[in-house]
Amino acid sequence: MTDKNRAVVFHGVKDMRVDTLEFPKLEMPNGKKAPHGVIVKLLATNICGSDLHIYRGSFPVPEGMVMGHEMTGEVVEIGSDVEFLKPGDIVSVPFNVACGRCRNCRNGRTEVCETTNPEVSCAAYGFNLGGFVGGQAEYMFVPYADFQLLRFPDKDQAMEKILDLAVLSDILPTAFHGLMEAGVKAGSTVYIAGAGPVGRCGAAAARLLGASCIIVGDYYEDRLELVRRNGCETINLSEVDSLNDAIEAILGTPYVDCAVDYVGNEAHGLGQEAEETKSSYAINQVLDATRPGGATGIVGVYGANPKSPVPAEREGIYSLNFGDAWIKSPRISGGQAPVMHYNYDLMMSILWDRMPYLSDLLNIKVISLDEAPQAYADFDKGSALKYVIDPHGSLPAAR
């Protein structure tokens, strides 16, 4: 086995590079030995829309941080306390780092683990949350492996569907979580803010849940075309001045039952203001779009944004139109998804072809590790592709 590890590393705003680092060790960020951990050889490691917050400088991380939090790979080394995994297992790595031992983990709230980050009850790979090294690399360390890792039941079956399974680490469970928090069920009308990869996963998951009319709003026609050809209604937000009017033109009513914000704090305005960043626009958009008594899911990233021209937003304080929302008795839920709460069921849905349209919605392009910096630049410009990095050339059929 090699003693080196090539990885995508953040060197500053819009400056990603592929560096050669030391091979990962079975130890925590604080240097403590981790016999409960494993080393994973990455087979598919994706570029996420959340990574663009880092790329653009709106989510601060230290220079030299290894990127990536969407990882699928093969176990190649196990710690002495690992009992239920073995070398050769193909696994999905949830982006939340969770111990499995604290109160929140034992209650299924792995997105707010109380022990893995000494600064806040939340840890994640490649996000400056607990110091855990990201997975846009050849190899990575995963702690608490027996608890954290989702092992695919059949290796050959997993490799046949690896590109769909590759989204189980984040964007598909995140999309599903937003819908569940918004109360989506059979027959629901749904508004999805954002047609990026996570919003497109939201469209697939809404169909899985039996939603009736699924409306997706975005500014890029090539993204909207992907969801349109898979049975969704669409709104080009650069061409409308009122979201409620646009929804009414589709449904006959200005409101939907459920709405989800998949955009976060880098949203833009409507119509003539489409080129202007309106950091709190997406969250206000879904609040406006939801009917009285309905519910919203807020899974877009809303942290302190050092690039915002608004001083309050640099401190993580955003302006909400809560007066108009309050009178509708809304149910509002936000935050990261507890990936482990959903990933097994979603894996089974993929393995048994309950989302056969997922690949078409995602529009995946498999790239090499060396192509990742350019993929970041293209994704930043609004590319409709979902970039999946193949560090070892393990996905020749997909390429």
d(CA 296, CA 228): 22
Q: What is the extent of the structural domain holding 281? A: 171-334
Same structural domain, 207 and 326: yes
Q: What is the pTM of this model?
A: 0.95
d(CA 36, CA 26): 8
Are the beta carbons of 308 and 314 closer than 8 angstroms?
A: yes
Same structural domain, 308 and 348: no
Residues 277-298, mean pLDDT to the nearest whole number: 90
Same structural domain, 233 and 303: yes
pLDDT for res 144: 98
Same structural domain, 18 and 52: yes
Q: Are strands 90-93 and 256-261 parallel, antiparallel or unpaired?
A: unpaired
In a domain, 195, yes or no: yes
pLDDT at position 298 over 60 = yes
Q: Residues with Cβ < 8 Å from 190, sequence gap 6 or more?
A: 179, 182, 184, 206, 211, 213, 214, 215, 256, 257, 258, 259, 260
CATH code, domain with 49: 3.90.180.10
Query: What's the CA angle centered on 108, arms 102 and 112, to 5 degrees?
Result: 60
Look up tokens 């009850």; give the residue. Answer: 121
When the pLDDT of each residue in the chain is averaged and rounded to a whole number, the result is 94
Same structural domain, 287 and 364: no
Same structural domain, 161 and 269: no
Determine which of 48-62, 162-176, 245-259 has the lowest per-residue pLDDT on average.
Answer: 48-62
What is the chain's Cα-based Rg? 20
In a domain, 126, yes or no: yes
pLDDT for res 397: 60
Are the beta carbons of 145 and 36 closer than 8 angstroms?
A: yes
Q: pLDDT digits over 229-263, tens only?
A: 999 999 999 999 999 999 999 999 999 999 999 99
Same structural domain, 223 and 328: yes
Same structural domain, 21 and 138: yes
Show which of 302, 317, 334 is a domain's final residue. Answer: 334
d(CA 106, CA 31): 25
pLDDT for res 314: 87
Same structural domain, 313 and 249: yes
Same structural domain, 229 and 355: no
Report the domain count for the chain: 2
Q: Residues with Cβ < 8 Å from 247, sequence gap 6 or more?
A: 191, 215, 235, 253, 254, 255, 256, 289
In a domain, 398, yes or no: no
Residues 81-103, mean pLDDT to the nearest whole number: 97
In a domain, 241, yes or no: yes
pLDDT for res 264: 85
In a domain, 25, yes or no: yes
d(CA 292, CA 350): 34
In a domain, 329, yes or no: yes
Confidence of residue 362 (pLDDT cuts 50, 70, 90): very high
Show which of 334, 358, 376 is a domain's final residue. Answer: 334
In a domain, 397, yes or no: no
pLDDT for res 3: 86
Residues 145-151, mean pLDDT to the nearest whole number: 98
Same structural domain, 196 and 303: yes
Closest by alpha carbon to 5, among 165, 146, 171, 141? 141
d(CA 223, CA 234): 10
pLDDT for res 398: 58
Same structural domain, 19 and 157: yes
Closest by alpha carbon to 50, among 347, 265, 293? 265
d(CA 116, CA 32): 12
Confidence of residue 1 (pLDDT cuts 50, 70, 90): low
Closest by alpha carbon to 219, among 199, 195, 237? 237
pLDDT at position 399 over 70 = no
Show which of 334, 359, 379 is a domain's final residue. Answer: 334
In a domain, 399, yes or no: no
